[in-house]
Structure 1
């Protein structure tokens, strides 16, 4: 028996050594050694090494044709077995251009010509992608080949060949009757698009020879073959595409056309090809990529000839640009006077259009201190000097801030708003620059206000002093006939009033306006919420009644005397206090509902109620003070003016004082709520005490039950000598049971 085992082990070791020799022979390309070893049946032909490779894949990868032939002679070889990386023999041979090996593999009946490897690519895709025409021809001779089978992204062999410009492979594939020349992958890429994008003009020509080729198919990014060729500057491809009827010249790819894309990239020849093509819509109905007009793109890329031709074609449009610059803005900033003249000749162009940064062309020129450009722009009657940037700055204010005095001297003759805005901002230095350049100091804005009005209205005292010293009209009136002095009096600015009076200002009065539709002429009364009314008696009578009245009441008429005004005040105060009491009562109702829901389980309720009680106490004190003040005022008023009307006023005061009863009711309600809350809290505490007592009783029972067991365990644990002879474990139970009985008897006697 031992001899047989020894023989078996020797045989296994021998077989392993032979298998190892075969791997070395295949790797070294030793055909004779490989053939000799492959005759043995114990050779594992489909074995994989530590890298997951099979013998066949190793030979294919190294290009050992003779070794591959030897391996294929074995009837048990699996020609479609993948290695650990998903590689297949035929796919590797086709991808690496091993024509002879591919031919040997294709002779096998069970070879899978449409299998995908770990990269999800078929043998035909790999051969076509790498331009191995002979292998592609071998594969196409197979009847079971699928010429349109793509990878996982949908890219077919024709797409791969077109992308890499393999003309022979493309020609072979197009010769198949079942080829799909317009097959699209997940990204929508077609063979024509890939060839056009890469500039493979011969491949593009082969594809365009087919009548069924689609010229304007869009990718997932809305690009067409013409757009890709123009964007990448491929002149020959662009010519080929433009020679075909039905080509779309105006495809919109995220706001770009083929022409705008070529201009944006600076491709002059391609741009000219597209510009002169019939059917090209030069006016784009929308914003172009990065906000440039076609003209801006041409100017920005230095394509002056094309820019001039575009200007002649009048293609510029006035669209709001999300990002970028208008042609006029670009030319104004760069002092391109010739281009500015050409642009201004376009009637459809708005010369005041703001760019993406909110700047106008004139403000750009003013900032750059370009006198020639500013003068040229001002020659156009369409230029609005007062049109400011998005931040409110005008060209004149920008020139003043940058101290471009020459530009300031040009702009001051036509500007009518900058001085007002600078005064409003308090920019004294820029104001002085404008005045030094003879700006009209008395220019008025849209409401007729002069710069002095604006200085008073915005509390710019230093600027007002400077304006007056420069000769500002101190008595200028706006559209409402208000002078600076009147404005200063209305706004209670004494320093301005004194300053204006020093310069002989006159006419300090105020005018009030009321809504006519709200007047009730029969009663001589106006109701206007939030308005204060003031009036004065024109002529005093024999009595010493009140002369001036000022009322901030919601509803107010002209009272006969001070008593009637005082009564209106008391009635209004009583109404406000009652309204407050109603709101407080509603608040306490909500507190009561919350109290019933919580059942005394919210500790903060007591503090909230105590806070409310404090508020009521403070309100009662405030009300008492108001009532006392009203009584004292009524007494003093009666002593001074008499007339017997003080008694009527006391009736209003007593009604006002009755508010104390409402506050008393609210106080009692709060006390009741506090008592309820204390009761709920007491009940909850009692429940907690009862629950705690029950828990303690249960704990006592548990202690009595486990006490004997714990005592027995501790006894055995301390007396180690008892356990020396390994006594029976039932002794522990007997001892524990005895203690439990004794404990129970003792507890019963104690309980009795």
Structure 2
């Protein structure tokens, strides 16, 4: 046993040659593993070959009911898998671990698919007795993500494996319909193959063009059926029709093929309200968006479940090319608001997931394209915080976006709720360059009082709540002509008092140097 685990072929040959008790070939260690299982797990091909030649039993499993074939498939030992499959004593190629094991739903084929061992998966799929209707769970680990081995092969984009499994299936009989009880194995897994229409959605989402053709031409898959699937790149669940799934991943060839089919209904929506157009716009797939627009059967202003239009989604992704295609139609609604009042312009300045690794710079082209349209309403406020696109850009420190907005002739640099302003947002968040750009506009009063409790000027708000480069912000504010450094709120507090009680020594010195009074140097032991 030790020789098998260590891959010591010399010692093993010596033992077998010297009259080794053949019954010990199938002895088990404390985990229930035989020498063959240990060698298979470690990938010791020569040892496995010798043990099989001396009639080691390839069907014996360990305490977790894991067989040598399962171990070899799990760890990617192709040559070991070949030897085990060639053994005339091998009885079952679909074994699963015990119920409580973390991979209790996995067969050798499904575990090979999940681990990305393509050659092993192809070997197993062509083995007599392989059962593609057995179910497992998806690699993401969701309990609800039960999928057949055929479905898993498609999901993992192992197209050759999927095609072979599809050929040995009879989808007329192996498919479980919603009303079926299904059959269960000892692990409680319900064994069934998804209907052709769901397999089609899986194939489209994975980009398996040959599987798509097979399902459409030979299995009568419904090209408009919407089904749930897990998108690997987005790591999210969607319930899409094939056309929406193809648009979501940017599969132009598939989109074109589906649009050319007589039965296609392009306007079908997903469970979340997406159309093919909104899905393509969300992903920034300009060629797909252009194709769908040219087809003409989807409303350019169609909305998803959150009232988001394709233009809004393209703006949030910073996709200038997609925005160009949508605006070129002449009917796209630039000022459409979603369920919380956000417009495309607001999403371009404040994406829900942030600007991403490329920063705000990747959004400037998209923003300027929106601003160049004469129909744009630049001062619309959202329905949650009552903020404009300029306020969000200022808050996020997006200098280029702020400058682009300030260049628009209709911009109101003071618009927004009374409790804050673009200047206050930039000041409180430490964006000195944005503060300077706003003040240089000439329409922003540095002494505007915010309707907070208590009232504050931008200077006081920066002193009290400042983050980031607060010192630089204070320097810009106090250097502005006409700034009132001695403004008092309803409680008589000034910027100097706030700095003394909450600010840093650096900020306190800056405000004192600006001429704020009273002179407190002695009192503060400076």
Q: TM-score, normalised by structure 1?
A: 0.40
**3-state SS of 1:161 partner:** helix
**2:91 alignment partner in structure 1:** 111
**1:155 alignment partner in structure 2:** 147
* Alignment of 1:135 onto 2:153: no
Equivalent in 323, 334, 354 of residue 382 of structure 2? 354
**2:166 alignment partner in structure 1:** 174
8 Å CA contact 1:387, 1:394 repeated in 2:
yes
**1:375 alignment partner in structure 2:** 409
- Deviation (angstroms), 1:234: 4.2
Mapped to 1, the partners of 2:380 and 2:239 lie a distance apart of 34
In 2 relative to 1, CA 251–138 (structure 1 residues): closer, same or farther, beyond 3 Å? same
8 Å CA contact 1:266, 1:303 repeated in 2:
yes
**3-state SS of 2:61 partner:** coil
**2:207 alignment partner in structure 1:** 199
Greater gyration radius: 1
- Deviation (angstroms), 1:54: 0.3
Whichever structure has more helix as a proportion of its residues is 1
- Deviation (angstroms), 1:44: 2.8
**3-state SS of 1:313 partner:** coil
Once the two structures are superposed, what CA deviation does each residue of 1:485-536 show, in whole Å capped at 9, x if it has no partner?
xxxxxxxxxxxxxxxxxxxxxxxxxxxxxxxxxxxxxxxxxxxxxxxxxxxx
8 Å CA contact 2:314, 2:322 repeated in 1:
yes
Once the two structures are superposed, what CA deviation does each residue of 1:184-224 show, in whole Å capped at 9, x if it has no partner?
999x9954444444434444444444433354312373333
- Deviation (angstroms), 1:138: 4.8
Mapped to 2, the partners of 1:284 and 1:94 lie a distance apart of 48
8 Å CA contact 1:183, 1:191 repeated in 2:
no
Equivalent in 50, 58, 61 of residue 67 of structure 1? 50
Once the two structures are superposed, what CA deviation does each residue of 1:552-593 show, in whole Å capped at 9, x if it has no partner?
xxxxxxxxxxxxxxxxxxxxxxxxxxxxxxxxxxxxxxxxxx
* Alignment of 1:102 onto 2:84: yes
Equivalent in 26, 30, 42 of residue 46 of structure 1? 26
8 Å CA contact 2:346, 2:389 repeated in 1:
yes
In 2 relative to 1, CA 156–371 (structure 1 residues): closer, same or farther, beyond 3 Å? closer
Equivalent in 85, 90, 107 of residue 122 of structure 1? 107
Q: TM-score, normalised by structure 2?
A: 0.55
**1:304 alignment partner in structure 2:** 320
In 2 relative to 1, CA 229–136 (structure 1 residues): closer, same or farther, beyond 3 Å? same
| Residue ranges of structure 2 left out of the alignment (5+ in a row) | 138-144, 179-188, 231-236, 351-362, 396-401, 426-434, 460-489, 491-526
Matches within 5 A, 1:701-740: none
* Alignment of 1:344 onto 2:324: no
Mapped to 1, the partners of 2:441 and 2:2 lie a distance apart of 93
Equivalent in 297, 300, 307 of residue 279 of structure 1? 297
Equivalent in 310, 315, 325 of residue 294 of structure 1? 310
8 Å CA contact 2:371, 2:405 repeated in 1:
no
* Alignment of 1:91 onto 2:57: no
- Deviation (angstroms), 1:124: 3.7
- Deviation (angstroms), 1:295: 1.9
* Alignment of 1:217 onto 2:227: yes
8 Å CA contact 1:26, 1:59 repeated in 2:
no
Once the two structures are superposed, what CA deviation does each residue of 1:666-719 show, in whole Å capped at 9, x if it has no partner?
xxxxxxxxxxxxxxxxxxxxxxxxxxxxxxxxxxxxxxxxxxxxxxxxxxxxxx
In 2 relative to 1, CA 327–426 (structure 1 residues): closer, same or farther, beyond 3 Å? closer
* Alignment of 1:322 onto 2:344: no
Once the two structures are superposed, what CA deviation does each residue of 1:381-427 show, in whole Å capped at 9, x if it has no partner?
xxxx899524467999999x965664479xxxxxxxx99x99x9798
* Alignment of 1:56 onto 2:22: no
* Alignment of 1:80 onto 2:59: yes
- Deviation (angstroms), 1:20: 7.2
- Deviation (angstroms), 1:47: 1.1
- Deviation (angstroms), 1:160: 2.9
Number of aligned positions between the proteins: 381
- Deviation (angstroms), 1:88: 0.5
Question: Please, what is the CA RMSD of the aligned residues?
Answer: 5.3
Once the two structures are superposed, what CA deviation does each residue of 1:149-194 show, in whole Å capped at 9, x if it has no partner?
12255332212322333332222111124355899999x9954444
Question: Bigger relative contact order, structure 1 or 2, given CA contacts below 8 A and separation 6+?
Answer: 2
8 Å CA contact 2:337, 2:343 repeated in 1:
no
Mapped to 1, the partners of 2:443 and 2:334 lie a distance apart of 28
**1:389 alignment partner in structure 2:** 416
Equivalent in 268, 277, 280 of residue 262 of structure 1? 280
